[in-house]
Structure 1
Amino acid sequence: MGLSPVDSYPMPDRTALPRSYVSWRIIPVRAALLVHDMQNHFVGAFPKGRSPVVELLDNIAALRELAGALGMPVVFSAEPPGQRPAQRGLVADVWGPGIGDEPDAAAIVAPLTPRPGEHLLANVRHNAFLRSHLGRLLRSAGRDQLIICGVYAHLGVLLTAADAFMNDIQPFVVADAVADFSAEEHSLALRWAARSGVVCTTDGLLRELLRHREPRNRTPGAGPTAAPHRDSADNT
């Protein structure tokens, strides 16, 4: 099947959000931020300079800035390029061979390039937990809340949120910091995410995080000479 161009559609606002079944509140010392599959290959399917990609990039950037300021782990998931058929598995039957070896296709989009001290995980399935070290990373950092943004809402974002819930990690899906193939699929993803997590807006989440803001020391390894942490996926 592969990727088709995405038509422009408006980002949902707070009046269009489904009611979450839970009333969890975000706590920075318990939370991490996951930026899912924001790679040139995927983001390039959206119309440049139009909704929803304009808001998508701006809102993720805002979340990433505040998460870093609060000392929250910031994690990027990215599909590796040039996967062998055995690595790609059944996903190839639906989405084809995946990201090829074209220059920069697999790179995180320039406005969100991972920084020193942030984590970059290879993920070989839509669910960012599967065959990656995301769960181990969260446990080692003592985090049981996960803010999820990126693409695509009804695939990787929703499946990752569901797996977080199944593993007693509270998922927070940011409605206007995810995007999808269409407004309909975007809305569907939010309705399902609301059944096992919190669906919120960027502004609302930023306000909630700022309530807890206090000066923090930088985490070890986050200095200007450190490189993003890269965790290898188990691709067998």
Structure 2
Amino acid sequence: MAIPSLSTYSMPSAEQFPTNKVTWAFEPEKAALLIHDMQEYFVSFYDKDSALIQTLLSKIVALKQFCEAQGIPVIYTAQPKEQNMADRALLNDMWGPGLNRSPELQKVVAELTPKSNDTVLDKWRYSAFQRSPLEHMLKELGKDQLVICGIYGHIGCLMTAVDAFMRDVKPFMVGDAIADFSLEEHEMVLKYVATRCGKVVSTAEIIGTVATQPILTKVGLLSQLLTFIDEEEDAFDPDENLIDYGLDSVHIMSLITEWRKYGIEFTFIDLADEPSLNRWWALIEAKMGA
């Protein structure tokens, strides 16, 4: 009856996405980002060191950074930690007491902690539109596109996409920024959305929409590094020495040149001291913060 322990799987890549039936263009000025149910409780059903969840977090962080830079509203759903039997209703039959059993896990995971200008909606049913002001908020903001990411794909994410479609809000399901009970269910969600109620897009596709205002993100840096080295994303260690992975001085100099367009200046010596993804991203964040 409760959520089972969930195994990791490889996050689908854009090349594996189904063909979309619609040709909607993502328009940042018409969109809002929905970060769906990324609470400690729901994430805890995956292994602590799940590569799937680490990938998921990196993608959602990148989406959120992009949306903040573009002035796109960021909306969260989160189930309350105290839910009486009447509020849960049929959810009790399907999933048991839920967060009532683990109220200490109600918070959104630390990597995605909502900011003061973000909106957090109480989540009562699978769809984020049910018993919430989401539809009214979108209309008030003049938004008719909803970018959806989070967990779980085949439950709340999918039902929210279907509900959005039926309310004339265009859902954009970020296929590499959702996680599910299994790869099969993840793929089912993407196929259903692509052919019945929305458009399946990648994180890179959303972030790359605004070409005139480049955004440097950790997931973007990871993607670039993976083109230079012979390693799969699932096996990549962000603390490993990049030289040991095969990154050479030519690659480093090309990155230094690339980062200048973001206003980030480094010398070769700056990067050669501790050449790892996590260390370089810490240096980049410090520069961006300054």
Answer whether TM exceeds 0.5 for this pair: yes
- Please tell me the residue identity of whatever aligns with 1:80: P
Asked if 2 retains the 8 angstrom alpha-carbon contact of 1:28 and 1:212, the reply is: no
- Please tell me the residue identity of whatever aligns with 2:51: S
Asked if 2 retains the 8 angstrom alpha-carbon contact of 1:148 and 1:161, the reply is: yes
Asked if 1 retains the 8 angstrom alpha-carbon contact of 2:36 and 2:78, the reply is: yes
- 2:17 is aligned with 1:17: yes
- Please tell me the residue identity of whatever aligns with 2:95: W
Post-superposition, which runs of at least 4 consecutive aligned residues in structure 1 deviate over 4 A?
A: none
Q: Quick one: structure 1 residues 212 and 31, their matched pair in 2 at CA, closer, same or farther if it must change by over 3 Å? A: farther
- Please tell me the residue identity of whatever aligns with 1:204: E
- 1:166-207 alpha-carbon deviations (Å, 9 max, x no partner): 011000000110000011111111111112211011112111
- 1:103-138 alpha-carbon deviations (Å, 9 max, x no partner): 531100000000010000001001000000111111
Match of 1:202 in 2: 203
Matches within 5 A, 1:23-42: 23-42=23-42
Query: In the TM superposition, what is the alpha-carbon distance from 1:27 to its structure 2 partner?
Result: 0.7
Match of 1:153 in 2: 153
CA distance in 1, matches of 2:103, 2:188: 34
CA distance in 2, matches of 1:71, 1:45: 33
CA distance in 2, matches of 1:143, 1:212: 22
Asked if 1 retains the 8 angstrom alpha-carbon contact of 2:41 and 2:102, the reply is: no
**Which runs of no fewer than 5 residues in structure 1 stay unpaired?**
215-236
- Please tell me the residue identity of whatever aligns with 2:150: G
Query: In the TM superposition, what is the alpha-carbon distance from 1:212 to its structure 2 partner?
Result: 6.3
Query: In the TM superposition, what is the alpha-carbon distance from 1:17 to its structure 2 partner?
Result: 0.3
SS of the equivalent of 1:150 reads strand
Instruction: Give the share of equivalent positions with the same residue, in percent.
Output: 41
Q: Quick one: structure 1 residues 81 and 13, their matched pair in 2 at CA, closer, same or farther if it must change by over 3 Å? A: same
Query: In the TM superposition, what is the alpha-carbon distance from 1:4 to its structure 2 partner?
Result: 1.3
Number of residue pairs matched by the alignment? 213
**TM, length-normalised to structure 2:** 0.71
- Please tell me the residue identity of whatever aligns with 1:169: V
Asked if 2 retains the 8 angstrom alpha-carbon contact of 1:82 and 1:98, the reply is: no
- Please tell me the residue identity of whatever aligns with 1:186: H
Q: Is the radius of gyration larger for structure 1 or structure 2?
A: 2
Higher relative contact order (CA 8 A, sep 6+): 1
Matches within 5 A, 1:126-205: 126-195=126-195, 196-205=197-206
SS of the equivalent of 1:160 reads helix
